[in-house]
Structure 1
Amino acid sequence: MAKINKAWVVAAAVLVAAGGYAKAQQKTATTAAAATPAYKTVKLDRKQIDALLAKPGELTIIDVRRPDELTRIGGFPVYLSIQNDDVEKNLAFIPKDRKIVTVSNHAGRALKIGDLLSSKGYNVVGAIGVQNYEEEGGKLTRIEPKAPATAAVTK
């Protein structure tokens, strides 16, 4: 029987283990890619948004966040607030003759709504997350919550 060199056995074991590891990594990457939805709407950066904001007459910003997110985080100075689930019910209020930018915290919801609006014939130029915008040096407008209504006192 031929003598087997221990170094060759160890090297073979390492190669087998490495091959298994590589296959596992490839499978993980494939699964992650499949789980991440692909959007047609482009995610915009701060410079692109600032350029669009320089021509406000051509732009409609649709913020799809909840009111508590708007007041806690802030947003752009002028926007149309339509929560994510209400966009389709409010299409009549969205102008078709302007460029549209959709907004959420990190652009996830904004990208989804951008695709929806594009499929309905709107001119969606992109989506942005306000927190990403702020991280890139952009300044958000702080939005104060409405004061609670007080009941009228009758005598």
Structure 2
Amino acid sequence: MKSIAKLLSLVFVFVAPLSFTHLAFAQTEAAKPAPAVKYEAKSPKLNRAQIDKLLAKPEQLIFIDLRRPDELTKIGGFPVYLSIQLADLGKSLAFIPKDRTIITVSNHAGRALRGADILADKGFKVAGAAGVQDYEAEGGTLSKIVAPAPKS
């Protein structure tokens, strides 16, 4: 009996830490956040040539810039646009003309693709999404927005 008790205590001494290690590993794995699901856009991402072709008829076009104001002034954008941040897009649908083709805009088209899909789902005529920094990298020219000087 004594030898069985010694044997069981030896087994416990060596096996118990392995059980706790396995348990700790399982808890660590469970605590890890799920990998982010990449957004799959339905709307196309437009390149410079496609945007320039649409710009040939500016009276039929509207850019909806979904970036923050500081991004607009720092990076620049297209010459005529409607500025609505992505979070406010749903609340601003009444201000968006339905008779024009829409290009949504962000820095590299991530937010713009989401915005384009939202607008297309609401019945707007959406050509696609554009990234201003991608447009510029492809040789396009952006308009730099200069904030007015503060009044003294």
Q: Secondary structure at the match of 1:35?
A: coil
Q: Greater CA deviation, 35-44 or 134-143?
A: 35-44
Q: Secondary structure at the match of 1:90?
A: helix
Read off the aligned partner of 2:55 and give its amino acid letter: L
The equivalent residue for 2:72 is 70
- Where do 5+ consecutive residues of structure 1 fail to align? 1-30, 151-155
The equivalent residue for 1:38 is 40
Q: 1:139 aligns with which of 119, 122, 141?
A: 141
Q: Secondary structure at the match of 2:150?
A: coil
Q: Secondary structure at the match of 1:47?
A: helix
What is the alpha-carbon distance in structure 2 between the residues aligned to residue 146 and residue 110 of structure 1?
A: 27
What is the alpha-carbon distance in structure 2 between the residues aligned to residue 105 and residue 45 of structure 1?
A: 13
Q: Secondary structure at the match of 2:92?
A: helix
Superposed displacement of residue 149, structure 1: 4.3
Give runs of aligned pairs for residues 1-150 of structure 1, distance below 5 A. 35-150=37-152
- Where do 5+ consecutive residues of structure 2 fail to align? 1-33
Read off the aligned partner of 1:77 and give its amino acid letter: P
Superposed displacement of residue 88, structure 1: 1.0
Q: Identity across aligned pairs (percent)?
A: 62
- Could you state the TM-score of these two structures normalised by the residue count of structure 2? 0.74
Superposed displacement of residue 132, structure 1: 0.2
- Could you state the TM-score of these two structures normalised by the residue count of structure 1? 0.73
Superposed displacement of residue 35, structure 1: 2.5
Q: Secondary structure at the match of 2:148?
A: coil
What is the alpha-carbon distance in structure 1 between the residues aligned to residue 87 and residue 46 of structure 2?
A: 22
Stretches of 4+ aligned residues off by more than 4 angstroms: none
CA RMSD of aligned residues (A): 1.6
Read off the aligned partner of 1:45 and give its amino acid letter: N
Aligned length: 119
Q: Greater CA deviation, 82-91 or 101-110?
A: 82-91
